[in-house]
């Protein structure tokens, strides 16, 4: 018991520190001038991807860079930039990856049409397999009928 006493004391001293720990929050929440600006901001932030998280939109991410980008998007909006200009600015800095819906061009055609090509190739394979089995089944049925007829002729009733 005497040996565990310092450990218990240490845990008792550290326990309040754990209770006070909180997730990092944006220190300065967004202040919008009106509801139209807030709606436009949320629509735009939903179309942009967090460059750190990669699976979350800019609106959903809690990363520090996402907070900075949200403030930058709002600043660009207040400078009178259109949504397309804001997106173009972010693409110039972070690349096409920042867009959830990348533009269709020669670099992204496989991204847009690749799933359809894979689905089409799979359908062709399935059709060929089904046809092959149907042909083999029909040929096998004819052979079985001939064998059954031969057995019937050999039998005496």
- In tens, the pLDDT along 28-82 reads 677 888 899 999 999 999 889 888 887 888 888 888 888 999 999 999 999 999 9
Cα 4 to the chain's mean position, in Å? 49
**DSSP conformation letters of 88-133:** HHHHHHH-GGGBSS---STTTHHHHHHHHHHHHHHHHHHHHHHHHH
Our CA dihedral for 108, 109, 112, 115, rounded to 10 degrees, sits at -120
Task: Single out the residue of 94, 105, 27 nearest to residue 86, CA to CA.
Answer: 94
Those residues whose C-beta lies under 8 Å from the C-beta of residue 153, and which sit 6 or more positions away, are none
* pLDDT computed for residue 24 by the predictor: 53
Rounded Cα–Cα distance for residues 43 and 78 (Å): 15
d(CA 118, CA 143): 38
The pLDDT, as a whole number, for residue 150 is 58
CA atoms within 13 A on the CB side of 115: 2
Q: Provide the pLDDT for residue 58.
A: 87
Does the reported pTM lie above 0.85? no
Task: Return mean pLDDT, the chain.
Answer: 81
* CA 67 – CA 29 distance, rounded (Å): 9
């Amino acid at each position: 018991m005497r040996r565990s006493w310092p450990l218990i004391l240490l845990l008792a001293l550290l326990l309040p520190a754990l209770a006070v720990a909180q997730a990092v929050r944006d220190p300065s929440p967004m202040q919008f001038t009106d509801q139209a600006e807030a709606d436009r901001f949320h629509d735009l932030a939903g179309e942009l991807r967090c460059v750190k998280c990669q699976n979350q939109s800019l609106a959903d991410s809690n990363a520090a860079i996402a907070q900075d980008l949200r403030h930058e998007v709002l600043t660009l909006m207040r400078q009178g930039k259109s949504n397309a200009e804001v997106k173009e600015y972010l693409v110039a800095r972070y690349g096409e990856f920042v867009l959830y819906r990348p533009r269709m061009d020669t670099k992204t055609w496989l991204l847009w049409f690749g799933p359809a090509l894979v689905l089409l190739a799979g359908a062709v394979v399935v059709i060929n397999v089904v046809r092959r089995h149907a042909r083999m089944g029909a040929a096998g049925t004819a052979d079985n009928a001939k064998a059954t007829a031969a057995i019937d002729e050999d039998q005496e009733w």
